[in-house]
Chains A and B, each alone.
Chain A
Amino acid sequence: METIYYTYQDFYTHTKGILYLLMIVSLFGIAGFWNFLTGKDDDNKENE
C-alpha cells in the first residue's frame, strides 16, 4: 500500500532520497553506455 504522507516535507524527503540514489546509478549507467556506444570506434582507441 502506498504510504500516506501528512506533510509535504516528509513526502519530499522520501522522493528526494530515491532521486539521489537514481542519480548515482545514472552517472555510472551513462558512463557504461558511453563505453558501449563508442566501443567499436577505431579512432577512439588510438586517441585515448
Chain B
Amino acid sequence: MSDKAAIDHKTWFTPFNAISGTIIIIGIVISILRFTVGLGAVTHLSDDNPWGLWIGFDLLVGVALAAGGYVTSAAVYLFGMKKFHSAVRPAVLTGFLGYSLVVFALTYDVGRPWRLPYPFIMQQGTTSLLFEVAGCVALYLTVLFLEFVPAPLEWLGFKKVRELAVKLTLPLTVLGVVLSTLHQSSLGALYLIAPSKLHPLWYSTYLPVFFFVSSIIAGLSMVIYESALSHHYFADKMDAAHLQESEGVTLGFGKAASLILAGYFTIKVMGIAGGDHWHLLGTPYGLWFLVEMIGFVALPSFLYAVGVRNKDVTLIKWTAAWTVLGIVINRLNVSLIAFNWHLPSARRYFPHWMEIATSVFIVTIGIVLFRFIVTRMPVFYEHPEYKD
C-alpha cells in the first residue's frame, strides 16, 4: 500500500508540476483582482502609457514568436520542401497555442473584454490598423485550429472528419500565409499613427515591412529553438522520420534565417537613410539601436551562416535562441522602450510586478498545454494508421 502511494506521489509531484502549479495559482489570484477591481489594481498603465507589457510582450512578441506555423507550412506545402514535413505539426501546434494565448491575454488588457467582437458585429472602424489586426488574428486562429485539428482527430480516431480536414491543407496554408502577412505587418503599422511619440530610429514608414520580415526570422528561429528543446524533453515521443529530418530542418531553417536576417539588416539601414537619422546614432538611444542592430541582427546572421557552413547544429541552436531574444528586444523597443521617449522619466512606464507575473502565468499555461498535447497526440510522430 505505502509503496504504491509513494509511486503515485512521485509521479505527480515533479519539479515541473510544482513550479508551474505555483505560477498558475498566483496567476489565478491576479486574474481575480484584475477582473473584479480593475486594471488600475494590477498594472502601472497610465494616461500617458495606455499600452504596457501585456501589449508589448503578450501581443507583439507573442504573435511574432508564433509565426513558425505559417512559415513552416508555407515552406512544406507551397514551396515543396517535403523534407521538412515532420516540422509542420509541432510548428502549427505552437502557432495555435500561441495565438490562443494572445487572445486570452487580450481579455486581460482591454477594458471591457466581453466587447471584443464589437468591431465586427456593431460598428466597423475600418480606418483602424487595429481593426485589420483583430480581423486577421480572429480568422487566423480559426485557420490554425483547422490546420491542427487532424492531430486530435487521429488521437480520437475520427477518420472521416480527419480526411476532410486534411483535404483543406492547401487552401488553409494559402489563407494562413495571406492572413499572417497582413497582421504581422499591421502590428508594426499600428505605430504609424504616432510619429510624435515613437523615437525616430524605430519609427519608419517601413515599420510594417520590418515587422513582417522579422516575423519570418522569428518563426524560423522559434522552430529551430523549439525543436532543440523538444529533443531534450520529448525525444521518446519522436519517430524515426522526425529524428532523422530534424538535423535537416535545423540546417535548412538556419540558412533561411541567416539570409533573411541579412536582408532585414539592409532594409533597416535603408530606413535610417530614408529618414536621414544618421546623426541620432550617437545619442544614448542611438547606441541602444546599434546594440539591437549589430548584436541581435548582424551577429546572428553571421553566426547562422557559420553554423550552416560548418554543419554545426549546436551553434545554430544557440543562435536561434539569441535571435528570438533579439526579436523580443525589438518588439519591446517599439512598444515600450522607444515609445514616449520624449516624456520625462517620471511619466514613463515600468511594468507592475503583477503584470509581469500575469505574462509568466500565460506563458506557463502555454507550456503546460503543449506538454499535455504532445505527450498524447501524434505531433512528433506520424500516427501508424495515417501514414501517407
State if A and B touch, Cβ cutoff 8 Å.
yes
Q: Chain A residues in contact with chain B, CB under 8 A?
A: 9, 12-13, 16-17, 19-20, 27, 31, 48
Q: Which 4 interchain pairs have the tightest Cβ spacing?
A: A16-B126, A17-B126, A12-B127, A13-B127
A13 touches B125 (CB 8 A): yes
Further pairs besides A9-B127, A48-B167: 17, Cβ < 8 Å: A12-B126, A12-B127, A13-B125, A13-B126, A13-B127, A16-B126, A16-B127, A17-B124, A17-B126, A19-B126, A20-B124, A20-B126, A20-B135, A27-B175, A27-B178, A31-B171, A48-B170
Interface range, B side: 10 to 19
Q: Give the complex CA separation of A17 and B124 in angstroms.
A: 8
Q: Give the complex CA separation of A17 and B127 in angstroms.
A: 8
The A/B interface has a contact count, at CB < 8 Å, of 19
Q: Give the complex CA separation of A48 and B167 in angstroms.
A: 7
- Chain B interface secondary structure, helix, strand, loop or mixed? helix
Q: Give the complex CA separation of A8 and B333 in angstroms.
A: 32
Residues of the B chain whose Cβ atoms lie less than 8 Å from the Cβ of A17: 124, 126
Q: Chain B residues in contact with chain A, CB under 8 A?
A: 124-127, 135, 167, 170-171, 175, 178
Query: Which B residue sits closest to A12, measured CB to CB?
Result: B127
Q: Give the complex CA separation of A16 and B171 in angstroms.
A: 25
Query: Which A residue sits closest to B125, measured CB to CB?
Result: A13
Q: Give the complex CA separation of A17 and B126 in angstroms.
A: 6
Q: Give the complex CA separation of A41 and B126 in angstroms.
A: 40
Q: Give the complex CA separation of A13 and B125 in angstroms.
A: 7
Query: Which A residue sits closest to B166, measured CB to CB?
Result: A48
Q: What is the minimal beta-carbon distance from A31 to any residue of chain B, in angstroms?
A: 6
Count chain B CB atoms within 10 A of each CB in A12, A16, A31, A48 and give the residue with the most: A16
Q: What is the minimal beta-carbon distance from A14 to any residue of chain B, in angstroms?
A: 8
Q: What is the minimal beta-carbon distance from B242 to any residue of chain A, in angstroms?
A: 23
Residues of the B chain whose Cβ atoms lie less than 8 Å from the Cβ of A13: 125-127
Q: Give the complex CA separation of A9 and B127 in angstroms.
A: 8
Query: Which A residue sits closest to B123, measured CB to CB?
Result: A13
Q: Give the complex CA separation of A19 and B182 in angstroms.
A: 14
Residues of the A chain whose Cβ atoms lie less than 8 Å from the Cβ of B167: 48
Q: Give the complex CA separation of A18 and B135 in angstroms.
A: 15
Residues of the A chain whose Cβ atoms lie less than 8 Å from the Cβ of B175: 27
Residues of the A chain whose Cβ atoms lie less than 8 Å from the Cβ of B170: 48
Q: Give the complex CA separation of A9 and B171 in angstroms.
A: 35
Q: Give the complex CA separation of A16 and B135 in angstroms.
A: 14
Q: Give the complex CA separation of A31 and B170 in angstroms.
A: 10
Q: What is the minimal beta-carbon distance from B169 to any residue of chain A, in angstroms?
A: 9
